[in-house]
């Protein structure tokens, strides 16, 4: 297990219905069983949502969830995802000139510190470069 039971709120009624048909919440990862009753089958979790144990949860900002996601995928470093319920990595936008994203899953890019820069010709920077000798950048970004 990966500890999602304690991290995400799971609809107890979904687990109760699943247990009647010998299917556990763990069996339902990546599936949406929230509308299930009796012998109906679970559907793959919808795009923009993830289903850790049979119930759909909206994909958070900085992450994306293709169909049938068990857990959200993080936007890569150098990008930021400002929208929730994103379905693909296309929602992760490369950081523009003067900004960077040093870690995965960021919801916004950070401005380069004074004395550092991220060139416009290289969007999607994971770090800012120091200004060359004789050059100066007094402001952030």
Across 12-16, average pLDDT = 54
Q: Which pLDDT tens digit goes with each residue over 51-109?
A: 988 889 999 999 999 999 999 999 999 999 999 999 999 999 999 999 999 999 999 99
- 79-111 as b/e, with b when 16 or more CB fall inside 10 Å? bbbebeebbeeebbbebeebbbbeebbbeebbb
CA 69 – CA 56 distance, rounded (Å) = 9
pLDDT band at 30 (very low <50, low <70, confident <90, very high): confident
Rounded to two decimals, the pTM is 0.73
Q: Which pLDDT tens digit goes with each residue over 36-55?
A: 665 567 888 999 999 988 88
Query: What pLDDT score does 15 carry?
Result: 55
In the predicted model, is pLDDT for residue 26 greater than 70? no
- What's the residue count for the chain? 141
Q: Smallest Cα–Cα separation from 49: which of 30, 35, 33?
A: 30
């Amino acid at each position: 297990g990966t500890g999602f039971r304690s991290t995400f709120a799971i609809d107890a009624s979904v687990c109760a219905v699943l247990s009647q048909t010998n299917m556990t919440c763990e069996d339902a990862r990546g599936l949406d069983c929230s509308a299930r009753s009796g012998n109906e089958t679970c559907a793959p979790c919808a795009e923009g949502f993830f289903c850790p144990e049979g119930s759909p949860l909206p994909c958070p900002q900085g992450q994306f969830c293709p169909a049938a996601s068990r857990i959200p995928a993080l936007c890569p470093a150098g990008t930021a995802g400002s929208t929730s319920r994103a379905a693909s990595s296309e929602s992760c936008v490369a950081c523009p000139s003067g900004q960077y994203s040093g870690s995965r899953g960021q919801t916004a890019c950070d401005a380069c510190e004074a004395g550092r820069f991220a060139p416009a010709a290289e969007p999607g920077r994971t770090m800012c470069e120091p200004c060359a000798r004789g050059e100066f950048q007094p402001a952030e970004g």
